[in-house]
Amino acid sequence: MMDNLALGAMLFGTVQDERRSFELLDRFVDAGGVWIDTANCYSFWEDPTGFGGQSETVLGHWLAARPGVRDHVKISTKVGCEPTVAGKFPETAEGLSAVVIKNGIEGSLRRLGTDHVDLYWAHKPDRVTPLEETVAAFAELVSAGTVGRLGCSNYPVWQVERARQIARANGGAGFTVVQQHHTYLQPRPGTRPSVGHRFGAVTDEVLHYLEHNADMALWAYTPLLTGRYTRADKPLPAEYDHPGTARRLAVLDEVAAETGTNRNRVVLAWLTGGHPAVTPIVGVSTVAQLDEAVAAMSLELTADQRDRLDAAA
């Protein structure tokens, strides 16, 4: 079982057609993969309708065509970012009211063809709905057995902690996972990665919070910068243009040479073997890319290699 890597299904059903999506899902499960990550809004920006649901629908078709596979995989999906008006995101994002969360999980379960999801995420903060309402609505889903665990994505640390305090005070389930953008390279101070969310990137404050809350886990999206570590045709975004990037890439190349691997595998091994350990979400378009990510899960960095990678900052 390989439960420290999640397969990102964001583009399944849009950029990746059903045949290719099935091929990647089958390969992932055959390799021992467990977690599949999606969202009710994936991928509204790629579909002519301007609305999401395609990824969950393809996953539902795959589960239906593979009797028994649902017992061996865990589904992670999200609510909160689906636009209510096509072409108007983020200003018309659905938010996280009790009604939206109730309708959201019902829609996700229908498309997925299952009676529960193993991890349900608040996709991004809702500036309008009281946090108490959101927390209570999520807790109800856990109490009903519809959801196994709760997570929040793209949240500021103070709001994560406040939500957890509310859940504890009311005796309900709270967030125990955060999902942010996290990778080995760091953006230039005073900038933030181009991830589309104000609080989308892991910061030292996020790591410090997780280190002091043992029940919290960290999932990382876009850990390989959409291929930019290894593809010359995809240059790094401007926020990574600073001396620290050159130092980090130099050490990354040293460790890749020592381990007989490449930058991608070292980055994934650095994430999964760190403190706190990270579950990277890898979005792939080919079997070769998936096989590379799976192989990275068996790469163990030495203490010296990890120290050098950390010190390069």
Residue 194 has pLDDT above 80, yes or no: no
Residue 126 has pLDDT above 80, yes or no: yes
Please name the residue that has the structure tokens 């599949």. Answer: 36
- DSSP-assigned beta bridge partners for residue 175: 150
Tell me how far apart the alpha carbons of residues 205 and 124 are, in angstroms, rounded to a whole number.
18
Region at 50 (left for phi over 0; alpha for psi -120 to 50; beta for the rest): left
Tell me how far apart the alpha carbons of residues 305 and 313 are, in angstroms, rounded to a whole number.
14
* Angle, in degrees to the nearest 10, between helices 243-259 and 263-272: 90
Supply 73's token pair: 């995989």
Question: For position 260, what pLDDT does the model report?
Answer: 97
Residue 313 has pLDDT above 80, yes or no: no
How crowded is residue 135: how many other Cβ atoms within 10 Å of its Cβ? 26
Q: What is the pTM of this model?
A: 0.96
Tell me how far apart the alpha carbons of residues 241 and 224 are, in angstroms, rounded to a whole number.
17
The rounded Cα 177 to chain-centroid distance in angstroms is 10
Residue 195 has pLDDT above 80, yes or no: no
Residue 202 has pLDDT above 80, yes or no: yes
Supply 80's token pair: 């909160």
Condensed to tens digits (0 to 9), the pLDDT of residues 237-259 reads 999 999 999 999 999 999 999 99
Q: What number of residues does the chain have?
A: 313
Q: Where are the domains of the chain?
A: 2-311
Tell me how far apart the alpha carbons of residues 17 and 44 are, in angstroms, rounded to a whole number.
15
How crowded is residue 143: how many other Cβ atoms within 10 Å of its Cβ? 12
- DSSP-assigned beta bridge partners for residue 36: 7, 75
What's the chain's average pLDDT?
A: 96
% of the chain exceeding 70 in pLDDT: 99
Q: Which whole number is the average pLDDT over 132-143?
A: 98
Q: Which whole number is the average pLDDT over 212-221?
A: 97
The superfamily in CATH containing domain 2-311 is: NADP-dependent oxidoreductase domain (3.20.20.100)
Tell me how far apart the alpha carbons of residues 302 and 108 are, in angstroms, rounded to a whole number.
42
- DSSP-assigned beta bridge partners for residue 282: 7
CB 184, CB 267: distance < 8 Å: yes
Tell me how far apart the alpha carbons of residues 139 and 170 are, in angstroms, rounded to a whole number.
9
Question: For position 1, what pLDDT does the model report?
Answer: 74
Question: For position 273, what pLDDT does the model report?
Answer: 95
Condensed to tens digits (0 to 9), the pLDDT of residues 19-62 reads 999 999 999 999 999 999 999 999 999 999 999 999 999 999 99
CA dist list (Å): 238 to 108, 187, 217, 245, 275: 37, 9, 30, 11, 28
CB 140, CB 132: distance < 8 Å: no
Supply 244's token pair: 């620290």
Residue 224 has pLDDT above 80, yes or no: yes
Q: Which whole number is the average pLDDT over 66-80?
A: 97
Q: How confident is the model at residue 5 (pLDDT cuts 50, 70, 90)?
A: very high
Condensed to tens digits (0 to 9), the pLDDT of residues 76-115 reads 999 999 999 999 999 999 999 999 999 999 999 999 999 9
